Structure formats: structure tokens, C-alpha cells
């Protein structure tokens, strides 16, 4: 632990942070519509009471972002702590405890947002308050950005801040999604830390054909042409893109496994073996899906539109495909791969596109994270991971920020799998794991932002 943190009463700090988290969970910030303003106002009051000077930035009525800054004495690139305060919807009837009550049961805080990701908002606020109270000089600015609208694409949140208030959120480094949750994979405990995330390339596919009467089948039916593409897109694995980031992820993950997994996992990077490993040798199917997704471009058919009358062949049929661009690949490459499945009778149109995001694999911040993981959880290791999804890092990185996924929570094997809690029913965070995560985050921030000798 950094010397400035050695005298801290961690039990009290954790209790306060848990209370803040529970309060944040009581605001229903399901997005859409988001409605983050009241939740953000609560957080602003909490920070102001601690003597900090938070700023609320509202892009629209009912929507709000919060930025608060601790000024550093030396001009090193700032560190941004990032959490989104919106959450995905929760179907209360399917939960064992209500999703917007912030209740504690069985040693966990329950609620939508407990790990995605009001826990990070609460921990980051607690860390800012703690450092401010300790009065330790910082060698770089520490900025907390609690943002709206991540779950619906960030237009009212990080994207808006980057466009409208870049000077308030510009940073050299950021800690945010996705990572820092303990993964128990058979060997030693692993803390994935996102260093890269896939890009986005949403595509509309439109097939054309001759119109006609449903009683007279014909070969140039637009619905059939489109269906053929969708079936191929849904069943075909596009080519491997084993970028350096993906290679590193698979290699580091493999190194943390016992035999034979340690020898088998690297075969994922070899075109001849990859499919066999995914289909037969990775027993955890959700892990296999995640690994498959980071290895290649993917196109998932999601929306369909065609026809309106049973006995009329429509001249056009269209579908939307959720395309994701592999780290190291590009929109053009994804379109070329999809185009080969589509054939000449289907047009492809890009609806929305963002390139993959990549942070430097070697940096003082990553080294600090790896050190903190090893020190706070003896026997565990950090692994530089690649995320198939989309986070606020997409937008912070436009300002040149190196974004790492680290919102630490220590999960024990009996706590359930954090991956099931993301957007899942019964989302919760173990109280002890949250307290351990708070110490890990505080130590990471202190090591990266405070002088080692201060207070020591």
C-alpha cells in the first residue's frame, strides 16, 4: 500500500462507500430514458459536502454528467476516473431482491448497476474524497467523470463531454470499463484489464428482387436472397485477426491456466486449430463465445424488415447487422468479409461506425495496476484483455487518452461470476469484494498520482 494510505481506517471508508453505492442504486437510471440528473445531483452534493467542487454538465433536461477535479502540483498528464451512472433496464419480477432499492443481502449489495457500474462511481468518489481529506500533494490532476448515457451509445455522456467540454475531461490516462473483476479460471485468479476494445460497424443489408404473387414462386425473391445472407452471416466464422493485442491477451490468459489449458489456449491463434478449440475444448460456453468474438470481426443479424402481405412477394427486404470490428482490423475489412457472404444482389450500407480502441500495452499506469493486483491479491495476476463490447473509452481516446479497463472488485469463487451480473438478473456486488476493490483503486491512484515520499 502506498505510504499515504497506510493510516487510513479502511473499514470506515468502505462503509461510507457502500452507503454511497446503495444511495446511487436507489435512483432508477434505466437507459432509455436514462434520467440521470437526480442521481448525479445526489453525487454532486456528496462530493460538495466533502469539500470538493463538482461541476454538473447537462446536455438535455433530465440528463447530466458530473466532473470533479483534484489539482496536481506538477504538470504530468491527468488521470481520469470514469464511471457511467445510467444502467440497462431491469425486470423486477425476475429478481430475488428489488433492482432499485440498494438492499444488502447475503453479504452483497443488490441492484441494477452494482457492477455495471455505479460501484466504480462510488469507489472513485470515495477515493477523490479520501485524497482531498489527506491533503497529499498530487503530481498530476485527478479527474472524476461520472457520465450519462453509456448504455445507449454515449451521445449524452462521454461523447457529448468530449465534443462540448474537452478541456474538462482531457487526460493522459483513464481508468474505466471493462476489467478488474476476479476471474477464477482453474489456475491462479486473473484480473483482466482492458487495453483494447473492438470497433463498431453497424450495417444495413438490403436485397432486391422482382415483385410478384405469392402463389408463383421465383428465384429472384428478395426475402430469400436476404435470408441466405443472414443464415451465412449467423453461421460463418469470419477470418481470424490475431493482432498483437489479441495474441497478448490469449498468451497471458493461457499462462495463468493449469495444463492442459495452458497448452491448448494458444492454439486459438492458429487458423487450423482455432475452430476446434472453440467448439470442443473450451468447456465454458460463455468463455468460448467471448474468445471467439475477440479473435475476429463478427456480424450478428438483429433486425428484419420485409413484406406486409402473405400473398405478395416484396421487391425489397432489409436487415440490420450488428458488426464489430476486431482489434487490428478495419471497417473496410469487415465490409469486404461480409460482402463475400452477401453476393451481388445484396447492398450493404454502413449505419454507424467506430474504429477499435487501443491503449499502449506498456505504460506506467498498467505497470502500477499489475503491481497493485499482485500485492493486494497474492497469487493473482493482471492480464491485458481485449473487450468485444463498447465503452466510454471510445470517446475519451479521441482526446488522446490511454484508457485501461480497471474497476476492481475482488470476487471469490462463491460470489458468482461477474459476467452473469452484467445486464443480468440479480446483479450484485459482494461487500467484502467491493471493500477490497476500493483499497486496490485507492492504491493504484495514489501510486500513480502521489509522490512516493509524501506522508511516508
Give the total of residues touching Zn ion (CB under 5 A): 2
Q: Is 116 in the site for Zn ion (CB under 5 A)?
A: yes
Specify the stretch interacting with Zn ion by CB under 5 A; choose among 112-120, 201-209, 223-231, 247-255. Answer: 112-120
Specify the stretch interacting with Zn ion by CB under 5 A; choose among 19-27, 108-116, 192-200, 444-452. Answer: 108-116
Residues numbered 117 to 146 that lie near Zn ion (CB under 5 A) are 117
Q: Is 86 in the site for Zn ion (CB under 5 A)?
A: no
Measured from the CB atom, is 117 or 154 closer to Zn ion? 117
Residues numbered 258 to 297 that lie near Zn ion (CB under 5 A) are none
Measured from the CB atom, is 169 or 348 closer to Zn ion? 169
- For the bound state, the minimum distance from the C-beta of residue 175 to Zn ion, rounded and expressed in Å, comes to 14
Lay out the site mask for Zn ion across 308-347 (x = CB under 5 A, - = otherwise): ----------------------------------------
Measured from the CB atom, is 115 or 201 closer to Zn ion? 115
Measured from the CB atom, is 28 or 251 closer to Zn ion? 28
- For the bound state, the minimum distance from the C-beta of residue 100 to Zn ion, rounded and expressed in Å, comes to 17
- For the bound state, the minimum distance from the C-beta of residue 440 to Zn ion, rounded and expressed in Å, comes to 19
Measured from the CB atom, is 32 or 107 closer to Zn ion? 32
Lay out the site mask for Zn ion across 237-256 (x = CB under 5 A, - = otherwise): --------------------
Q: Is 427 in the site for Zn ion (CB under 5 A)?
A: no
Q: Which residue is nearest to Zn ion (CB)?
A: 116
Specify the stretch interacting with Zn ion by CB under 5 A; choose among 114-122, 167-175, 216-224, 445-453. Answer: 114-122
Measured from the CB atom, is 117 or 293 closer to Zn ion? 117
- Neighbouring residues of 159: CB distance < 8 A, sequence distance ≥ 6: 153, 394, 395
Specify the stretch interacting with Zn ion by CB under 5 A; choose among 111-119, 256-264, 306-314, 333-341. Answer: 111-119
- For the bound state, the minimum distance from the C-beta of residue 314 to Zn ion, rounded and expressed in Å, comes to 39
- For the bound state, the minimum distance from the C-beta of residue 169 to Zn ion, rounded and expressed in Å, comes to 17
Residues that bind Zn ion (CB under 5 A): 116-117
Amino acid at each position: 500500500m502506498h505510504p499515504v494510505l497506510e493510516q487510513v481506517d479502511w473499514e470506515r471508508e468502505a462503509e461510507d462507500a457502500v452507503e454511497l453505492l446503495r444511495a446511487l442504486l436507489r435512483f432508477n437510471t434505466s437507459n432509455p430514458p436514462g434520467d440521470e440528473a437526480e442521481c448525479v445531483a445526489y453525487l454532486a452534493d456528496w462530493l460538495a459536502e466533502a469539500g470538493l467542487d463538482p461541476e454538473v454538465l447537462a446536455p438535455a433536461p433530465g440528463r447530466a454528467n458530473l466532473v470533479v477535479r483534484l489539482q496536481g502540483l506538477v504538470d504530468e498528464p491527468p488521470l481520469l476516473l470514469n464511471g457511467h451512472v445510467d444502467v440497462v433496464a431491469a425486470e423486477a419480477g425476475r429478481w430475488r431482491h428489488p433492482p432499485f432499492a440498494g438492499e444488502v443481502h447475503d453479504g452483497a449489495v443488490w441492484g441494477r448497476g452494482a457492477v455495471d457500474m455505479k460501484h466504480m462511481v462510488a469507489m472513485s468518489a470515495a477515493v477523490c474524497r479520501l485524497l482531498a481529506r489527506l491533503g497529499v500533494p498530487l503530481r498530476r490532476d485527478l479527474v472524476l467523470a461520472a457520465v450519462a448515457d453509456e448504455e445507449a451509445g454515449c451521445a449524452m455522456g462521454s461523447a457529448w463531454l468530449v465534443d462540448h467540454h474537452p478541456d474538462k475531461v482531457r487526460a493522459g490516462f483513464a481508468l474505466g470499463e471493462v476489467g478488474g473483476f476476479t476471474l477464477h479460471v482453474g489456475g491462479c485468479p486473473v484480473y483482466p484489464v482492458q487495453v483494447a476494445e473492438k470497433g463498431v460497424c453497424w450495417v444495413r443489408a438490403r436485397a432486391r428482387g422482382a415483385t410478384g404473387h405469392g402463389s408463383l414462386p421465383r428465384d429472384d425473391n428478395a426475402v430469400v436472397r436476404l435470408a441466405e445472407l443472414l443464415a451465412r452471416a449467423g453461421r460463418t466464422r469470419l477470418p481470424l485477426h490475431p493482432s498483437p493485442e489479441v495474441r497478448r491477451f490469449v498468451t497471458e490468459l493461457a499462462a495463468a491456466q493449469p495444463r492442459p489449458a495452458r497448452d491448448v489456449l494458444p492454439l486459438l491463434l492458429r487458423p487450423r486449430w482455432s475452430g476446434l478449440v472453440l467448439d470442443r475444448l473450451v468447456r465454458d460456453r460463455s468463455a468460448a463465445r467471448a474468445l471467439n468474438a475477440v479473435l475476429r470481426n463478427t456480424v450478428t443479424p438483429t433486425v428484419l424488415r420485409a413484406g406486409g402481405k402473405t400473398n405478395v412477394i416484396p421487391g425489397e427486404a432489409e436487415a440490420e447487422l450488428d458488426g464489430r470490428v476486431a482489434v487490428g482490423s478495419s471497417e473496410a475489412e469487415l465490409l469486404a468479409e461480409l460482402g463475400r457472404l452477401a453476393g451481388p444482389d445484396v447492398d450493404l450500407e454502413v449505419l454507424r461506425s467506430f474504429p477499435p480502441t487501443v491503449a499502449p500495452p506498456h505504460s506506467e499506469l498498467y505497470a502500477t495496476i499489475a503491481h497493485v493486483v499482485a500485492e493486494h491479491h497474492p497469487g493473482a495476476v493482471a492480464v491485458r484483455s481485449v473487450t468485444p463490447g463498447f465503452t466510454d473509452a471510445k470517446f475519451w481516446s479521441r482526446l488522446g487518452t490511454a484508457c485501461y479497463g480497471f474497476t476492481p472488485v475482488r470476487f471469490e469463487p462463491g460470489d458468482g461470476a461477474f459476467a452473469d451480473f452484467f445486464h443480468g438478473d440479480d446483479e450484485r456486488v459482494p461487500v467484502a469484494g467491493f471493500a477490497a476493490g476500493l483499497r486496490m483503486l485507492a492504491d493504484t491512484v495514489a501510486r500513480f498520482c502521489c509522490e512516493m515520499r509524501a506522508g511516508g
